Structure 1
């Protein structure tokens, strides 16, 4: 089973006085990369989130956002000593006659009014919301993975059928090449003996023999099919197999000269490139 690296999951946890919502978005990345948006979280809670995500996912870029509906509580404290000093100073000044001070008069004077804000610890509810969001994210990535898997299976089947056709046609390819060379000799009136012809044809057979490439392609296709049966298939492993497959198909397309079969080999090359693009999206 394949999992896409692209997905989205939300989780919600509610108590009597507070509600916490966790959102996680994930996209492609070679490694696990985690960033936070919105509410500033305590360091220990951030670390908990990172540990949970790394436990569950092999790679991907994750954006985590935590919301809550709790309103901050504020407390106020007046510095009585500073206020007495202010009044004393104002009384001694000839420029101030009215000493009826208002809150608006005090708030902008440093040290007179202290405002403290308190924020409830959302970690307990946040962890519950996080676990739900991770569960939903896994399901989301699995659904996307299923779509990619169907595409990969279809393209792999094409490669398998094309490989079978080329394997059946391999003997005729060599005959086609030998015939072409003989015709060139005749057209150019080249006078060479049978041993030289045999030697030339032997070199051609070695240079244009595709048996080894076909064998390796068969092995790589079989390796891909084995990945489909694994409980947790890895995109990295698939990408490696496809790199090797691409190399063999590329060599194959160079060796083949018969137009219809060369076109088939080039189409195989294109399909492998498309498979590699899909593999980039897999975990």
Structure 2
């Protein structure tokens, strides 16, 4: 059952009197819908719980639930969609370089830039990345530098002589054939697959299993660094979001105590305006009928302009945001939805404004909500 408290008008305020020959003025009426709080069955149970008078839970229920330690199950961290990591490793096959970077995206979007020797590893790299990344545009670069490919560059004279011999054979068959340029010789020496002799003249690339055995530890270490960078930025974003939520909660808490006064002032203004309108009427309207209509209009205005429910929903959304950040994991889409709901409540508060202080509070809320929406776009 809901009880509504009424705020009486000050005793020293004299009732307006109608001048002689004019329409009767309306007597001052108390504020009809100024609410200071509600109490229901749930609230009564809550108060009894605070006073320590609630019934104790049976021992069987307490014994059936094992004790839990919060430290035993750490909560997952909040990750940003932006991250970067780079790792290199010397292997018997040569030096492996791996680079992973990510930016914001609505979905999981993977792009691979792999060397010729590393292309067979794309399915395994894709599986390793998708197991850790839920959302974001990820670019992965991997290359293998075989042993002897770095340092002083030397020409394989035996292979070069073989290529020159092939060119002479072509010129004997086709006398007018143009001899290859030096750049073409160098390209053939560097890339045996593109040379006239094919890839058999050069070293064979490693098989997929051998390459993955050497690349798997590098991939795990690089992904660990990548996740650590995303977690660091995610923690900073979570701190900024909590700060914005605290500011919005403070704005709402500072506005709540003034709502009864603001509604009473709005009702007084409406009552005075209607009284002045009644004075200008030429019709003889019974004062009782006019007073009943005025009371009805005041009640409708107070119900229409009441923002208590909007402030309650605002606090609920802020609490849900704090719980989502505390739970961790991929919370970007959920926080984006909550920011839309917060913006909806702020718009409603602004549309119901009956005082400049409410308008200022609504504008400040929209500013903080917009900052929250910008930061939420960076979370996974």
Same fold (TM over 0.5): yes
Contact 1:13–1:128 under 8 Å retained in 2: no
Give the secondary structure class of the aligned counterpart of 1:281.
Answer: coil
CA distance in 1, matches of 2:251, 2:272: 29
CA distance in 1, matches of 2:166, 2:236: 71
Q: Deviation string for 1:193-224 (max 9, x for gaps)?
A: 10110111111012101122112111111101
Contact 1:8–1:137 under 8 Å retained in 2: yes
1:41–1:62 Cα change, 3 Å: farther
| Alignment of structure 1 residues 137-156 onto 2, 5 Å | 137-156=226-245
Query: What is the Cα deviation at residue 114 of structure 1?
Result: 1.7
Give the secondary structure class of the aligned counterpart of 1:152.
Answer: helix
Max radius of gyration: which structure?
2
Give the secondary structure class of the aligned counterpart of 1:2.
Answer: coil
Match of 2:112 among 36, 45, 48: 36
Match of 2:138 among 62, 69, 81: 62
| Alignment of structure 1 residues 1-283 onto 2, 5 Å | 1-37=77-113, 39-40=115-116, 42=118, 44-70=120-146, 71=149, 113-116=196-199, 117-118=202-203, 120-121=205-206, 122-188=211-277, 189=279, 191=281, 193-283=290-380
**Greater relative CO, 1 or 2 (CA 8 Å, sep 6+):** 1
CA distance in 2, matches of 1:69, 1:136: 22
Contact 1:12–1:128 under 8 Å retained in 2: no
CA distance in 2, matches of 1:190, 1:153: 56
Give the secondary structure class of the aligned counterpart of 2:379.
Answer: coil
- Count of residues paired in the alignment: 269
Contact 1:10–1:132 under 8 Å retained in 2: no
Give the secondary structure class of the aligned counterpart of 2:329.
Answer: coil
Contact 2:310–2:348 under 8 Å retained in 1: yes
CA distance in 1, matches of 2:305, 2:331: 35
CA distance in 2, matches of 1:103, 1:47: 39
1:82–1:32 Cα change, 3 Å: closer
Greater shift, 171-180 or 51-60, is seen at 171-180
Structure richer in strand, relative to its length = 1
Q: Deviation string for 1:89-114 (max 9, x for gaps)?
A: 69xx9x9xxxxxx998xx99xxx952
Query: What is the Cα deviation at residue 44 of structure 1?
Result: 4.0
